[in-house]
Amino acid sequence: MTVAFATSDGIHINDHFGWAKQFALYEVNGEGFSFIRMIESGDEVEEEKAKLEYKIASIKGADILYCSQIGPTASKMVLASRIHPIRSNETETIEEALGVLVKMIKTNPPIWLQRIIHQGGSHVSHN
């Protein structure tokens, strides 16, 4: 499956989804994880709904989104795009979150994660 992280430094999950200028994209499975690429997602769009649509389009294909904060409208839009949003503590590193995710996949994944796994995981292009 593919996981996007809203990050300002490439290390921590420390950005608000709607304000994120970049997302780190990783491939994750029960064996581990690997970095795919950084996605630039600047604020070219001013209007709120259009900005959220732009952010969602920039991570299109991700199965899970980690961010420090996400508003209720954005959360609904992300879910409607078949991406599961997860709020994280700003001090949590991407690597820590990936480790927890790998462990959950290996052991006893919660229902929301089982759904993603059974849907075939990732549907992102790795170009």
Query: What local confidence, expressed as pLDDT, does residue 126 receive?
Result: 34
- Boundaries of every domain in the chain: 2-118
What pLDDT was estimated at residue 124? Answer: 38
pLDDT of 46: 74
Domain 2-118 has CATH 3.30.420.130: yes
Long-range contacts from 18-23, C-beta under 8 angstroms, 24+ separation: 18/48, 18/51, 18/52, 18/55, 18/70, 18/71, 18/74, 19/43, 20/55, 20/67, 23/58, 23/59, 23/62, 23/65
Block means of pLDDT (10 residues each) for the chain, 127 residues, are 97 95 95 95 77 92 96 95 94 96 94 90 41
pLDDT reported for residue 111: 94
Tokens of 127: 């170009």
What's the pLDDT score for residue 47?
84
pTM: 0.90
User: For residue 119, what pLDDT is reported?
Assistant: 84
Q: Which residue has the tokens 């920039």?
A: 58
- Provide the pLDDT for residue 91: 93
Q: How much is the pLDDT for 122? A: 47
